[in-house]
Structure 1
Amino acid sequence: MPSALPDGEPVPHDGSLPPHALDGAADRPLGFYLHVPYCATRCGYCDFNTYTATELGGSSREGYAEQAVEEIRLARRVLGDDPRPVETVFVGGGTPTLLPAADLGRMLAAVRDEFGLARNAEVTTEANPESVDPAYLAELREAGFNRVSFGMQSARPHILRVLDRTHTPGRPEECVGEARKAGFSHVNLDLIYGTPGESDEDWRASLDAALAAGPDHISAYALIVEEGTRLARRIRRGEVPMTDDDVHADRYLIAEERLTAAGLEWYEVSNWAVTGDEAARCRHNELYWTGADWWGAGPGAHSHIGGVRWWNVKHPAAYAKALAEGRSPGAGRELLTAEDRRVERILLELRLSRGCPLSLLAPQGARAAERARDEGLLEREPYEEGRAVLTLRGRLLADAVVRDLVD
């Protein structure tokens, strides 16, 4: 959840939506994102909307679960008699597992009580490897969570130090086994490549360690150095080197080779799941990538319902104050036009292994797609069937391909 919020028009005091937002809602899945904005320490590369104990400005994480529950109740009031059960719940942060497992369970129970959960709902929480143990994981499973995502980032101690990650090397892999024993069907490990000082050997070691742990999903993200972070300042001072795009491309190819050989397949540019098992994919993220509906509860959380996108106030104290006063914590919103939604579909769906329909493209974008096919950036067979699907080379140049196709 990025720390910067866009401009936008005011959100109504009661959080109400334009009548058209629920048009056709029955045909769209509904998900919930629950943001927990607390961290024990701040990682040097992170610009998410998170707060350590010294940054809370009088607010307290002890009462946070009740605040999130209050926003879930607000969501029920705003969505009225919308009959859809919730298909996915994702608790992210920050470090959700800094809260007691009972608090996360209470937030999930509020979603279940207010909306109901679909029979096969996916319920995920992110977790810091050092903030869980077998008893905590068992309590989460008992509360109804069935998917957990651990932040591993790297298996190499010197890379973890550059990233300011505080977990012990090897602990994320142990957590996978503990989660399995607790009854979690689906487990993800997050990795980062391109950290200053990382070698190809370091990256292969991280991939091999992650695979050996036996998760059914691995996310691998190129490190993005965000302005304002400690890592950006260190690079600017010359303390650590910047990694270039060619290195990122090499690391991505290594990931594709290692993960595919181990029986995982890409379904989104940065995400791999067990081959042939759609249940191993992160369905909540697929809501984002396909423009479905989700309500984001928590400081700085973003929501989208039927072409209306809004975002909450950032600071936990301001968030708590709004809810205590009986008003929406929304800071701003925008109403997406048909053209906005068309462009966003191309931007997001092209990153998926199933691609995006060529029918979404304007004439200039269609011509660009034809060139991309001829240049080996789009798969030929899907193209002939009316879809733009990235080749491996296309994935390496995904941002450039997307820019051409949305023109």
Structure 2
Amino acid sequence: MPSALPDGDPMPEDGALPPHALAGAGDRPLGFYLHVPYCATRCGYCDFNTYTATELRGTGGVLASRENYADTLIDEVRLARKVLGDDPRPVRTVFVGGGTPTLLPAADLARMLGAIRDEFGLAEDAEITTEANPESVDPAYLAELREGGFNRISFGMQSARQHVLKILDRTHTPGRPEACVAEARAAGFEHVNLDLIYGTPGESDDDWRASLEAVLGAGPDHVSAYALIVEEGTQLARRIRRGEVPMTDDDVHADRYLIAESVLSQAGYSWYEVSNWATSEAARCLHNELYWRGADWWGAGPGAHSHVGGVRWWNVKHPGAYAAALAAGRSPGAGRELLSDEDRRVERILLELRLADGCPLSLLAPAGLAASRRALADGLLEPAPYDDGRAVLTLRGRLLADAVVRDLVD
């Protein structure tokens, strides 16, 4: 089942933020994340806050219904307008994730986006993304999304090999994600992403190369590739514990990452975050860059997290509880934390070091600066940016990013 929410301070019933949260807001972009918690089936590796119809039956009544969901989420968008008051910023990015957002009618997704446009306005060059399951869309659905204002779409591909998809409990057929890229282009989408997972039990190097070649054949302008993380409480974790499927190791993940970097870079994709490649700067996911650079975003939906001006909060997880709070005129927030200057310094290092332009050495404490000199000597940081005052990971550094970050935050 999905992981638990973090501990934190109580959330005010009206969702009010402390005055300092909006200080200097005009200098920071504002984004919205809209969480759609519904899935047709649960993938064996997934621990996201998602629910199938069976899991919801009898636990939320009509309040948890997919049919009412867009109206409920729009209520939170209106709450956001009240909480942020006269904040004049238009919304720079909107990202609809899940779950499977495209289980909802395209008209519902467009209405949710329309509520943000009505309450806040959208920047002229706003990036508007939705995730999509390849089997849940067709050309007509994609055309309706595009007409509704979406200009970027991300398809969950994971693998081109049927036996790998089977281990992951993915239900789409090989070849369907690639077809979706063509359909999205025909519908007028400017930017298309394919998501991949490497390191699945039973996947070989040849399987992984085949997936990458299938991506290149489809021609998206953005590729995300993530190492499989086996989360406790998932079906996959139970299968591995029972010995039904093997567990891959870090060496396998490193080999697959190197293959991805080689194949994608030779095809004209450049990494801009450890797990993300794009064909141009315009093709990068600006919404994710908001997260990585500590900007402001409002997360609407069950279990969604938000951050505004050093205040982080998170919503109740269950769709029924979420809807009930909004119906009663209360914030659905379950808790929050006020980040200290030290918290924000550490988070900047944790996130910005994963980016292609790295993080400023000025963020590092004396112990972290000494660790950075060791990392430079070990070939984990690029020499030229280091001389200019920035810590930028080498390819080998990307393989060891978590370890490098742990040293630098000291």
- TM-score tier by shorter-chain length is over 0.9
2:334 aligns to what?
331
The CA deviation string for residues 141-178 of structure 1, in whole angstroms up to 9 with x for no partner, is 00000000000000000000000000011000000000
CA–CA distance in structure 2, aligned partners of residues 28 and 340 of structure 1: 18
1:241-256 matches, within 5 Å, as 241-256=246-261
Q: Of 81, 84, 87, which aligns to 1:82? A: 87
* 1:2 to partner: Cα distance: 6.2
1:172-187 matches, within 5 Å, as 172-187=177-192
- Secondary structure of 2:81 counterpart: helix
Q: Does the CA-based 8 Å contact 2:271-2:278 persist in structure 1? A: yes
2:130 aligns to what?
125
1:40 aligns to what?
40
- Secondary structure of 1:368 counterpart: helix
1:161-310 matches, within 5 Å, as 161-274=166-279, 277-310=280-313
RMSD in angstroms over aligned alpha carbons? 0.8
* 1:11 to partner: Cα distance: 0.5
1:43-82 matches, within 5 Å, as 43-56=43-56, 57=59, 58=61, 59-82=64-87
- Secondary structure of 2:153 counterpart: strand
Percent identity, please: 83
Q: Does the CA-based 8 Å contact 1:128-1:151 persist in structure 2? A: yes
CA–CA distance in structure 1, aligned partners of residues 163 and 250 of structure 2: 21
2:365 aligns to what?
362
CA–CA distance in structure 2, aligned partners of residues 74 and 117 of structure 1: 17
Q: Does the CA-based 8 Å contact 1:383-1:389 persist in structure 2? A: yes
Q: Of 345, 349, 352, which aligns to 2:352? A: 349
- Secondary structure of 2:254 counterpart: helix
Per the normalisation by structure 2, the TM-score is 0.98
Per the normalisation by structure 1, the TM-score is 0.99
CA–CA distance in structure 1, aligned partners of residues 346 and 35 of structure 2: 27
Q: Does the CA-based 8 Å contact 2:31-2:94 persist in structure 1? A: yes
Name the amino acid aligned to 1:261.
Q
* 1:279 to partner: Cα distance: 1.1
The CA deviation string for residues 297-352 of structure 1, in whole angstroms up to 9 with x for no partner, is 00000000000000000000000000000000000000000000000000000000
Structure 1: which 4+ aligned runs deviate by more than 6 Å? none
Q: Does the CA-based 8 Å contact 2:2-2:50 persist in structure 1? A: no
CA–CA distance in structure 1, aligned partners of residues 383 and 2 of structure 2: 36
The CA deviation string for residues 61-103 of structure 1, in whole angstroms up to 9 with x for no partner, is 1000000000000000000000000000000000000000000
Name the amino acid aligned to 2:21.
A
- Secondary structure of 1:62 counterpart: coil
Q: Of 404, 407, 410, which aligns to 1:401? A: 404
* 1:3 to partner: Cα distance: 3.5
CA–CA distance in structure 1, aligned partners of residues 47 and 4 of structure 2: 9
Q: Which runs of 5+ in 2 are unaligned?
A: none
* 1:4 to partner: Cα distance: 2.2
* 1:233 to partner: Cα distance: 0.1
Q: Does residue 1:311 correspond to 2:277, yes or no?
A: no
Name the amino acid aligned to 1:343.
V
Distance of aligned partners of 1:310 and 1:2 in 2 relative to their CA distance in 1, 3 Å threshold: farther
CA–CA distance in structure 2, aligned partners of residues 13 and 403 of structure 1: 37
- Secondary structure of 1:61 counterpart: coil
Name the amino acid aligned to 1:249.
A
Q: Does the CA-based 8 Å contact 2:299-2:306 persist in structure 1? A: yes
Name the amino acid aligned to 1:324.
A
Q: Which runs of 5+ in 1 are unaligned?
A: none
Name the amino acid aligned to 2:238.
R
CA–CA distance in structure 2, aligned partners of residues 278 and 267 of structure 1: 9
Q: Does the CA-based 8 Å contact 1:3-1:300 persist in structure 2? A: no
